[in-house]
Structure 1
Amino acid sequence: MITPPEIKKKAERKYVSFLQSLVLNTPFEKLVIRGDKTYTKSSLPEFEKEIQLIITQSKEKKGFGYTLEFQQVKTKYLGTQDLPTSIYFDTEIDFLKFLKREKEVELFRESIIKIIKTFPELKEWIIKNPIRIIQNQTEWESILKVCQYFTQNPNPNLFIRELPINIHTKFIERNQSVIKDLLDILISEHINKEEKQFEKRFNLKYAEPQVRFKILDREISRKFFLGIDDVAIPKSQFEALDLPVEKVIVSENKTTFYTTLTLPKLEKAIAIFGSGFSVSNLKNVSWLEDKELLYWGDIDVQGFEILSQFRGYFPQTKSILMDRHTFDKFFENDNGTPSGISAQLNLTDKEKQLYDILKLNNWRLEQEKIPFDYVNKYFENE
């Protein structure tokens, strides 16, 4: 026989559709709870105890909740007994008081009135997402302020905390998920649909990755950077640079990037800290397309995979100090990190041969283990 906790569980399952009916202004209809129609108790006291349990939690005893309808049924073991054949909630109040949701639904009604009055076009979203209305029920006034600002200013070009909205400075950051869903509807023609990051999607400024580089030509350093030769700037600013350089060295690791300070000063050259797979930050730097590009990474599988990635952006890229001679000369039997990549790589035949050897044996020679004088001698001969 069904128990009061099971009745409550089944009633909870009807709660979402009830909320949807409120949005649609559908009158409340009797909510029927399907009961267990099998009665297997062979002991009359046990049977009576179960019957009394569901009766004590019913509207008849509590003044609200589910109503029971009984019918005389002939049972296998207990003879003819009055058994509950129908369980239902007759009114909205009965249903909500039983679930202890009266206040929640009162706030839900207030919220949907406020939202639909401000943005009628959100009604369909509310119908599909009633629980999210409840989850955010203390925040709707502020959420709607944010939405109103964006509908009037769909291309703010400001940082989130610069937006002139009378809300807590961290409010948007804390409520991005629901705000995103609403703005996707309200300003759909202005959003960058392919972008998942909130700031990029909604035309806001954001903390860009920095590109760090060294100017290896003293004249360029003096003329463009007041003599500074170690610079880090946002990616978009780096993309917009217009420097008279011809050669660009990209170094995988920070330590070897520092090594470029010891290089012989090179005319019309800069060195960039690639930071491993973060070389993806350089893929839209169009002014690199006609430069001589030299990539210097670890002699391990990841080093060659990053080289392949970078060469995918700039096919003219040449690897340096990543050859078999350098590997054999300085290898110290270090293990690398296994790679699961099986795709075809953008490598030359010699690079691919070394890559396969490294992958098979899980070997690694870090850039840092190549002596400075060997590196300097290489560039002196460049």
Structure 2
Amino acid sequence: MITSAEIKKKASRKYTDYLRDVAVGKTFQPIEIPCDKKASDTIAEYQKEFNNIRSLSKEVKSYGYTICWKTVKTKMLGTQGLPSKIKFETAEDFERFLQKVKEVDVFRKNVALINGKFPELQCWIEKYPLKVIDNSEYWSDILKVLGYFSKNPQPQLYIRELPIEVHTKFIEQHKTVIGELLDIVIKEKINTDEKEFEKRYNLRCDEPLVRMRILDGTLAAESFSGLDDITIPVSIFLRLQIPISKVYIVENKVNFLTFPLVANSIVIWGKGYGIASIKESELLKSSELIYWGDLDAQGFEILSQFRGYFAQVKSLLMDKTTFDKYFENDLGTPSKVNVELNLTTEEKNLYQYIKANNYRLEQEKIPQRYVIEQLKCLLD
């Protein structure tokens, strides 16, 4: 025989659908739970099960479920009454049994509050009624945030700068639900390709930095008041326009710091796959680009990625001669990349050889004199 605990469990599973009906104002329809479990084989156990199920019934407590009985003749118990189904006849019965009366009342009020401000959120409410409940105490402030963004969909401010009368950390603490709602309220203004909250909803963020050295003293003096080692936010670098012809991208920090001076040029510390952050740079689009990475599988994979952004990228010191001259039998990190890379024939042959053997020649193991010599050959 079904137990009161099992009835509670099955009724709880119907709660979400009940809330959906409440959200749309649907007239309550009795909720039924079928009973297909057999009774125990002994009178003592049967009586125990009978008392258990009846103890929480509407017949005893004046609210809750109604038991629909059927008479069954069994071999062990003779003729006995068994429940055929459990029925909640009113919304009050259902809510009181689940101890959700206050919760549902607050839910109704919040649904009215949300729809009063943003009726376009009705579908979201119906899909996620439990999220409405989970955020019961926050809806007033959430709606303030939505109201601001509906009028200012591209604020370009840091979260803490937004002129919204909520706690300073409120938006940061409720990004998930606010984000879901903003996707609906300002859907035409969001950056759909972005996952990060600030970028998706046109806010300023603590963005990555680009570090570069000005390799031309005259250029440093004329454009940067003599500064030759500069770190700036990505968004500023993307708009940067200075009179140069070449840009070198170097992965290793020491090699970046010791890169030789070159006229009309800058060198950027690439930081591995972080080069993706500067792929929209206007400066790089119009410059000759030279990439110098480690002679390992990842180095060539980054080169391929970078060349995917800028077709004019050439490699520096990533050739078989350099590898054979300075390789010290070091092993790298195995690569699981199986796609075709955007490499020249010479680069591809070396990449396949290095990848197959998991070899690695780090940039810093190439002597400075050799770097200067090869760079001079490149420039000549």
How high is the TM-score relative to the length of structure 2? 0.95
Aligned to 1:3: 3
Task: Please state how far the C-alpha of 1:194 moved relative to its aligned partner.
Answer: 2.9
Residues 69 and 225 of structure 1, relative CA distance in 2, 3 Å threshold:
same
Kindly provide the amino acid, as one letter, of the partner of residue 83 in structure 1.
Answer: L
Distance in 2 (alpha carbons) for counterparts of 1:318 and 1:119: 53
Aligned to 2:246: 247
Aligned to 1:104: 103
Q: State yes or no: 1:36 paired with 2:36.
A: yes
Distance in 2 (alpha carbons) for counterparts of 1:128 and 1:151: 22
Task: Tell which deviates more after alignment, 324-333 or 301-310.
Answer: 324-333
Aligned to 2:24: 24
Aligned to 2:301: 305
Distance in 2 (alpha carbons) for counterparts of 1:371 and 1:140: 63
Aligned residues: 378
Distance in 2 (alpha carbons) for counterparts of 1:368 and 1:156: 44
Map Cα deviations across residues 363-382 of structure 1 (whole Å, 9 max, x no partner): 00111111222222323443
Q: Decide whether the 8 Å contact of 2:36 with 2:84 is kept in 1.
A: no
Kindly provide the amino acid, as one letter, of the partner of residue 31 in structure 1.
Answer: I
1:236-275 equivalences under 5 Å are 236-260=235-259, 263=260, 265-275=261-271
1:1-382 equivalences under 5 Å are 1-39=1-39, 41-260=40-259, 263=260, 265-381=261-377, 382=379
Map Cα deviations across residues 293-344 of structure 1 (whole Å, 9 max, x no partner): 1110000000011111111122221111111121112211111111111111
Distance in 2 (alpha carbons) for counterparts of 1:253 and 1:138: 51
Q: Secondary structure at the match of 2:317?
A: coil
Q: Decide whether the 8 Å contact of 1:7 with 1:33 is kept in 2.
A: yes
How many percent identity over aligned positions? 51
Task: Please state how far the C-alpha of 1:231 moved relative to its aligned partner.
Answer: 0.6
Kindly provide the amino acid, as one letter, of the partner of residue 302 in structure 1.
Answer: Q
Task: Please state how far the C-alpha of 1:64 moved relative to its aligned partner.
Answer: 2.3
Residues 153 and 289 of structure 1, relative CA distance in 2, 3 Å threshold:
closer
Q: Decide whether the 8 Å contact of 2:34 with 2:84 is kept in 1.
A: no
Distance in 2 (alpha carbons) for counterparts of 1:362 and 1:121: 55
Q: Decide whether the 8 Å contact of 1:252 with 1:297 is kept in 2.
A: yes
Residues 174 and 227 of structure 1, relative CA distance in 2, 3 Å threshold:
same
> Structure 1, unaligned stretches of length 5 or more?
none
Map Cα deviations across residues 75-118 of structure 1 (whole Å, 9 max, x no partner): 13211012222311122222112112122112111211211112
Task: Tell which deviates more after alignment, 186-195 or 293-302.
Answer: 186-195
Distance in 1 (alpha carbons) for counterparts of 2:293 and 2:119: 56
Q: Decide whether the 8 Å contact of 1:293 with 1:316 is kept in 2.
A: yes
Map Cα deviations across residues 199-228 of structure 1 (whole Å, 9 max, x no partner): 222222222221110001001111111111
Q: Decide whether the 8 Å contact of 1:71 with 1:84 is kept in 2.
A: yes
Task: Tell which deviates more after alignment, 83-92 or 271-280.
Answer: 83-92
Q: Decide whether the 8 Å contact of 1:55 with 1:61 is kept in 2.
A: yes
Kindly provide the amino acid, as one letter, of the partner of residue 188 in structure 1.
Answer: K
Task: Please state how far the C-alpha of 1:188 moved relative to its aligned partner.
Answer: 2.1
Q: RMSD across aligned C-alpha pairs, in angstroms?
A: 1.5
Distance in 1 (alpha carbons) for counterparts of 2:238 and 2:41: 82
Q: Decide whether the 8 Å contact of 1:146 with 1:165 is kept in 2.
A: yes
Kindly provide the amino acid, as one letter, of the partner of residue 10 in structure 2.
Answer: K
Distance in 2 (alpha carbons) for counterparts of 1:184 and 1:315: 35
Q: Secondary structure at the match of 2:70?
A: strand
> Structure 2, unaligned stretches of length 5 or more?
none
Distance in 2 (alpha carbons) for counterparts of 1:107 and 1:336: 59
Task: Tell which deviates more after alignment, 171-180 or 2-11.
Answer: 171-180
Task: Tell which deviates more after alignment, 331-340 or 30-39.
Answer: 30-39
Distance in 1 (alpha carbons) for counterparts of 2:282 and 2:75: 85
Map Cα deviations across residues 332-361 of structure 1 (whole Å, 9 max, x no partner): 111111111111111111111111110110
Q: Secondary structure at the match of 1:86?
A: strand
Kindly provide the amino acid, as one letter, of the partner of residue 7 in structure 1.
Answer: I
Task: Please state how far the C-alpha of 1:277 moved relative to its aligned partner.
Answer: 0.9
Map Cα deviations across residues 1-44 of structure 1 (whole Å, 9 max, x no partner): 111111111101110111111112222222111112433x2212
Task: Please state how far the C-alpha of 1:362 moved relative to its aligned partner.
Answer: 0.5
Distance in 1 (alpha carbons) for counterparts of 2:188 and 2:319: 51
Kindly provide the amino acid, as one letter, of the partner of residue 108 in structure 1.
Answer: F
Q: Decide whether the 8 Å contact of 1:37 with 1:85 is kept in 2.
A: no
Kindly provide the amino acid, as one letter, of the partner of residue 332 in structure 2.
Answer: G
Q: Secondary structure at the match of 1:334?
A: coil
Distance in 2 (alpha carbons) for counterparts of 1:72 and 1:379: 97
Distance in 2 (alpha carbons) for counterparts of 1:107 and 1:253: 58
Kindly provide the amino acid, as one letter, of the partner of residue 246 in structure 2.
Answer: K
